[in-house]
Structure 1
Amino acid sequence: MMTGMTLATAFTKLFGVRHPIASAPMGGSAGGALAAAVSRGGGLGLVGAGGGEREWLARELPVVAGGGHPWGVGFLNWAADVGAVEQALEYGPEAVALSFGDPSPFVETIRAAGAALIVQVTDLEEARRALDLGADVIVAQGTESGGHGARHGRATLPFVPVVVDLAAPVPVLAAGGIADGRGMAAALVLGAAGALIGTRFQATAEALVEPASAEAIVKGRGEDTERNRVLDIARSSPWPHQYTARTLGHPYLDRWRGREAELAADPRARDAYQADVARGDLPSLPVWAGEAVDLVNDLPPAAELVATLAAQAEEALARAGRPSTGGA
């Protein structure tokens, strides 16, 4: 494994981290231990605070705060309130990441605390708004990503360079379908200052996921993933309709695919879902997974994974920079 050059970018300089890698603030599963491990490994670990449940924050944030490494915390704009962000800021994160919906209610609070503002965007209108609000880092999320994303978004490969051009000189992280160092190298070649990686970090020793979900990610294939609203409706999860979720296969997908309006109008079906979960016939959460899930084959410690991803990226860039030896 290469240990030569380090990949210095505007992102690594901004946060004083060794590698241009951030772990996605995956709601509930990216707890303090995962963020701490990523940061210890030389990336920027982001705690996934979701809607900002106070007890959860009080339990998870002390695990990463005060560890001597830069870290951050992420919230869902549509679900969180300013009080939750204020609570998180008391622990001294270097960054707060905002995703999905209007970030503007939180910006002044984050600025006043001196934390960097990271805003995830799924289209150019959101990117322009984030830049107008003074985002320090933009995350350009493509539709290959696991979990929630734009229903009518764009793929990572064409989306990232457009956002890079729009945002310059503000650094951009690429997100969606990146699960190894080759994807990370591709992000850098597209002009991104690094990668925000989700699914790959779900399958680590420190992630707060059920063992069965971690195993499903390791065994999962990209072709088995699907983006839809069915599971949000079945779970009575109030996600805004413009965001759908990419998951691995699920019995309720097969049962209700294409019949979302019917499911939404049928409280008995949603009660049945809860009953199936309570009985143990269904996992308590869908298995969120992106299209690059094929590349996830093990459950390493997250700090070790950061180093592996960085070394793979260096190797990929070095390989791409060598002249071809094949004939035309």
Structure 2
Amino acid sequence: MALSTAFTELLGVEHPIALAPMGGSAGGALAAAVSRGGGLGLLGSGNGDREWLERELPVLAGERAGKPWGIGFLTWATDVDAVARALEHRPTAVMLSFGDPGPYVERVRSTGTTLILQVTTLEEARRAVDLGADVIVAQGTEAGGHGARHGRSTLPFVPVVVDLAAPVPVLAAGGIADGRGVAAALALGAAGALLGTRFQATTEALVAPATARAIVEGRGEDTERSRVLDIARGSAWPTRYTARTLGHPFLEDWRGREDELAGAPQARQAYEDAVARGEIPALPRWAGEAVDLIEDLPSAADLVGALAGQTETALSRAGRR
């Protein structure tokens, strides 16, 4: 039995589960698999790189079996032209994260595309409501990858956003990797959950095999939030967002010394040289605090169904109690 929520009814999906549009790893095959499985697959276009989109969009179109799908952008890194090009492919939804979505909202809404805005603070949540978001994603600091430097934990943050945004449906994000987490999100008043790290550990994810193994073997206490790796690799992420990753040699060497690292070009060159020699992964291994719950590498399509079943079991068990 499928769980019906305001999110599933709005998007026409079977399960209240969405794929986080992770740049670099949520490619066409992964987004299509999540959509085929009954969730909302969101392609992680990042800054809207034309070459990447031209490669991944046909994969998504060919494999999603006519199911609803979407595309996500890093608001601080993209531009109006990239969003306009994506809208030409008629996605069901566009998700904007990290930065001011204002310049892109009307372009999305004018096409009738569902507008999903991710927020990491109450200030961002109020802005999302004012801009007329159709769905709001409330991301807690337990999430893997980037998030607010001074954000809130998922458990207290989600219900506050739910109350603030009502009747706009809210998806919970951050520290959710199984059906119990999805059930908890629903109990908090959310209309579903958006998962990232769990979907990185699937056969369709565009991650190196070593990264997938590291996620399966990782523990929540192995993760930490920092700007170190963004600085070391020359990433232009705004300073108000840090990234949660698994352990890394540069984190050990430069923890708490971000300003010093930013002023040390020789250290950043050493990072690039170590990547070239294969001594450190080419990309940080983004992972959330729920990484302990990930023990296998299934197909994402099968995973969506398994998560939905776990969610129903968890809700039923809680009801009996």
Instruction: Return the letter of the residue paired with 2:56.
Output: E
In 2, Cα distance between equivalents of 1:235 and 1:135: 33
Matching of residue 47 in structure 1 with residue 47 in structure 2: no
1: CA distance, partners of 2:22 / 2:3: 25
Amino acid at match of 1:113: T
Q: In 2, distance between residues paired with 1:112 and 1:159?
A: 31
Q: Supply the AA of the counterpart residue of 2:45.
A: A
Give, in angstroms, the shift of residue 145 of structure 1: 0.1
Q: Deviations over 1:294-321 (max 9, x none)?
A: 0000000000000000000000000000
Quick check: 1:82–1:105 contact (8 Å CA) kept in 2?
yes
Q: Which residue of 2 aligns with 1:219?
A: 217
Match in the other structure for 2:138: 140
CA distance in 2, matches of 1:26, 1:106: 19
1:261-305 Cα offsets, whole Å, 9 max, x none, are 000001111011001101111110010000000000000000000
Equivalent in the alignment of 1:83: 81
Who is 1:246 aligned against? 244
Counterpart of 2:9 in structure 1 is: 13
1:271 corresponds in structure 2 to 269
Q: Secondary structure at the match of 1:283?
A: coil
SS at match of 1:50: coil
User: Which runs of 5 or more residues in structure 1 are unaligned?
Assistant: 324-328
Distance 1:215 1:231 in 2: 20
CA RMSD of aligned residues (A): 0.7
Equivalent residue for 1:23, pick from 19, 24, 28: 19
- Whether the aligned pair in 2 keeps the contact of 1:65 and 1:92 (CA below 8 Å) is no
Structure 2 unpaired stretches of 5+: none
Q: Which of 278, 291, 298 is the aligned partner of 2:289?
A: 291
- Using the size of structure 1 for normalisation, the TM-score is 0.96
Q: How far off its partner does 1:90 sit?
A: 1.2
Letter of the structure 2 residue corresponding to residue 213 of structure 1: T
TM-score between both structures, scaled by the size of structure 2: 0.98
Q: CA deviation at 1:236?
A: 0.5
CA deviation profile, 1:34-74 (whole Å, cap 9, x unmatched): 00000000000000000111000011112223630000000
Q: Could you tell me which amino acid in structure 2 is paired with residue 211 of structure 1?
A: P
The number of aligned residues is 319
**1:171-222 CA deviation, whole Å, 9 max, x = no partner?**
0000000000000000000000000000000000000000000000000000
Aligned to 1:74: 72
Q: Distance in 1 between matches of 2:91 and 2:212?
A: 28
Which of 206, 222, 237 is the equivalent residue of 1:208? 206
Aligned partners of 1:194 and 1:136: how far apart in 2? 14
Q: Mean Cα displacement is larger for which, 81-90 or 208-217?
A: 81-90
Deviations 1:120-170, CA, capped at 9 Å, x for gaps: 000111001011111000000000000000010000000000000000000
Match of 2:45, SS? strand
**Contact 1:181–1:310 (CA under 8 A) maintained in structure 2:** yes
From 285, 309, 312, the equivalent of 1:311 is 309
Equivalent pair of 1:97/1:120 in contact (CA under 8 Å): yes
> Does residue 56 in structure 1 map to residue 52 in structure 2?
yes
Q: Distance in 2 between matches of 1:31 and 1:106?
A: 22
Q: Distance in 2 between matches of 1:32 and 1:105?
A: 26
1:112 maps to a residue whose letter is: S
- 8 Å CA contact retained: 1:230, 1:260: yes
Show the counterpart of 1:326.
none
Q: Secondary structure at the match of 1:65?
A: helix
1:198-249 Cα deviation digits (max 9, x unpaired): 0000000000000000000000000000000000000000000000000000
User: What is the DSSP-based 3-state SS (H/G/I as helix, E as strand, rest coil) of the residue aligned with 1:119?
Assistant: strand
After superposing on structure 2, the runs of 4+ consecutive aligned residues of structure 1 that deviate more than 4 Å are none
